[in-house]
Structure 1
Amino acid sequence: MAKTKKAVLTETIIAAAAIVQKRFVNFEGKQATAGQPAVGVSVYDADQGDSLAVDALGIVLVESGGALAAGDAVASDAQGCAVKQAASAVTLGRALDAAVGANEVIRIKLGA
């Protein structure tokens, strides 16, 4: 069965750099890096200067950066993908699906 999102709030930003679909976006309008806070998750690919929809609240789809279990606290890795939250990283949400490795699309609950 296909995974679906239930975004409650979607913001529009101007991309300050190229951003890949389903990656965390930081408050500077760039793809988030390891441990950074994020405004949300990109809905589609964007080039610098493009308008970009960012899902900021709700259940969203994000690309995994490694193995995750459902219920894990997630943070951004260096490429803006969801990874298990480390002690110093900002928690961005909770995984609702498991991922066996990188490059899987999973659902997360932002802000949980």
Structure 2
Amino acid sequence: MSSGYGMNGGPSRCFPFWQEVLACYVVNSNEEDASGRKKCSPMLEDYYECLHHKKEAARVQALQAAYRKAEAEGGYKANPPTAGQIRNLGILGKEEDSRAVLGSK
């Protein structure tokens, strides 16, 4: 929520990310030189992702498109993925399972 408070009265879900951004700005910049703020762009990007979920939405759309394409080609009927492969879709360190399910190289 824009007030900084969550739905149940506590801090909002993105408040910890905002604290990281502010801490980075305090450490890396001063009144005379604001060039240190460039170091804070990863934290700011994480904060924006928490607010808007744009990267997550793009990833979900890509997975859905790949699934629809494979379903249209009939690829799953011949060689269906295992339950473990489906659970591991999009998880770091489990890229080989994602490739096996999605059929990408």
Q: TM-score if structure 1 supplies the norm length?
A: 0.21
- Higher Rg: 2
Higher strand residue share: 1
Q: TM-score if structure 2 supplies the norm length?
A: 0.22
Higher helix residue share: 2
